[in-house]
Structure 1
Amino acid sequence: MLTQVFVTGTDTDVGKTIVSRALLQALAAQGTQAVGYKPVATECTETAEGWHSKDVQTLQAASTIDLPYAALNVRSLAEDEPYAAPADGTLLRRMSDGLATLKARAGCVVVEGCGGWWTLLDAQHSYADWVVAQQLPVILVVGIKQGGMNHALLTAQAVINDGLPLLGWVANRINPCLAHYAQTIDLLSHKIPAPLLGEIPYLPRAETRELGHFLDLSLLAR
């Protein structure tokens, strides 16, 4: 049974939040109490309650447990704010504490990363370091676009080299005009050593839609 999973991507803006939403909806359809967690969020906007991320709010809306924003996010950054935190380990500890709290409340926690696999959290630690420490299995989001195949293969290999299980990958069609889409999916299916869990088509305002039916979670058990 899937109790925790980390959603990483080939890059930023490839659809990690969309796929995380789809995972939450697919888990809910199976009767699992699932909650989304995005510890670090960028490009946030200021609200009356502080800096908030649309990505976190999307996960909050798709979770089956009603939790406050602060429970699903540790660090919200403005668009022009430096990303890396002070290298004293405080951020990583807060991320771990937040995950532990959510695991005690939910049947499954879907953790969404920020940027790519080796995005820096501080001067000494990458996001991958934290995921390895937490021993989170990984699902890879591949944004189907020009150059996406190279990034997909590099990221898949990096996850495996870091010793974590790559449960599967999801294709997100972020460029509807890209030629040779079917051939790209076929090539990646043969090259990535994990099952293709589903394909998210290009959809306007996908963050508001029902997406769970695009994924086949039965493939996770194979």
Structure 2
Amino acid sequence: MNFNKGFFITGTDTGCGKTEVTLGLMHRLQAEGLSVAGLKPVAAGAVLTPEGLRNDDALKIQAQSDISLPYEKVNPFAYEAFIAPHLAAKSERRPISLRKIQADFIELSALADRVIVEGVGGWRVPLGHGVTLPDLVRLLNLPVILVVGLKLGCINHTLLTEESILGSGLRLAGWVGNHIDPDMDAQRENIETLCSWMPAPCLGEIPYMEQPTAEAVGECFDRCIAATGLGGVCKRSCR
């Protein structure tokens, strides 16, 4: 598994903060002196511009990357319809190619020390007939970081997602708690429950932010992933 080349960022659901965590992790790695490229292979909800379809999250990832990359290398499959990606791909008659994404990942891996890949939607998202997001992660051979959107129901969502990741034969490197609901009751108790139930380490806890920045989110990680594998990840104290 490519522990030294990057991570795949997935989430408990749409809107849990995958992009914010992706940008924050990229910033944190860059602060450690590593060159970092970002890849968002699939994005639904793009806007048609004179240059073509552009997705706001993918544009942020492109801007955060150390190396200058054409948009198509950051987001090879962009769809205008803001619907499930396999439905958007079918509607716009542009099927998602896992081999194309793999080729782009290999190319970026040769240019940067680390490549951070952001998924789409939640974990078990279909990408085509008989193909789901875990198939892509398996092909890229990357460890997974799970973004937990802290809201009512997140414990169930998190444990089910963790079970599915491990059941797919993939490595869960850790999880990040993201406070997306400032009015959520028992926030600390939910974090403590997740810490006690999740076998993977908590890599950081992100407070609620009206306008999160890569720098602010990056500071929420306990330690950056070190230059060698997972040695630099330490389990967060959930007090």
Q: Report the TM-score, using the length of structure 2 for normalisation.
A: 0.87
Percent of pairs with identical residues: 38
Aligned to 2:236: none
Unpaired segments of 5 or more residues in structure 2?
234-239
Q: Report the TM-score, using the length of structure 1 for normalisation.
A: 0.93
Q: Is the Cα–Cα contact under 8 Å of residues 102 and 139 in structure 2 kept in the other structure?
A: no
Q: Give the C-alpha shift of residue 218 in structure 1.
A: 5.1
Q: Is the Cα–Cα contact under 8 Å of residues 52 and 76 in structure 1 kept in the other structure?
A: yes
Aligned 1:1-222 pairs, distance under 5 A: 2-80=4-82, 83-84=85-86, 85=89, 91-207=97-213, 210-217=216-223, 220-221=230-231
Two-structure CA RMSD over aligned residues (Å): 2.0
- Deviation track 1:84-121 (CA, whole Å, cap 9, x = no partner) reads 14699861111111111111111000000001111011
Q: Is the Cα–Cα contact under 8 Å of residues 25 and 210 in structure 1 kept in the other structure?
A: no
Q: Give the C-alpha shift of residue 83 in structure 1.
A: 2.5
Q: Distance in 2 between matches of 1:210 and 1:49?
A: 31
SS at match of 1:103: helix
Structure 1 residues 16 and 143, CA gap change in structure 2 (3 angstroms): same
Q: Distance in 2 between matches of 1:208 and 1:31?
A: 16
Q: Distance in 2 between matches of 1:122 and 1:68?
A: 25
Q: Give the C-alpha shift of residue 145 in structure 1.
A: 0.6
Matched pairs, number? 222
Structure 1 residues 177 and 7, CA gap change in structure 2 (3 angstroms): same
Q: Distance in 1 between matches of 2:222 and 2:4?
A: 13
- Deviation track 1:39-72 (CA, whole Å, cap 9, x = no partner) reads 0001111111111111101111222222121110
Unpaired segments of 5 or more residues in structure 1?
none
Structure 1 residues 179 and 81, CA gap change in structure 2 (3 angstroms): closer
What letter is aligned with 1:166?
L
SS at match of 1:205: coil
SS at match of 2:20: helix
Of 200-209 and 152-161, the range deviating more from structure 2: 200-209
Q: Distance in 1 between matches of 2:155 and 2:84?
A: 29
Q: Is the Cα–Cα contact under 8 Å of residues 58 and 207 in structure 1 kept in the other structure?
A: no
Q: Give the C-alpha shift of residue 211 in structure 1.
A: 2.1
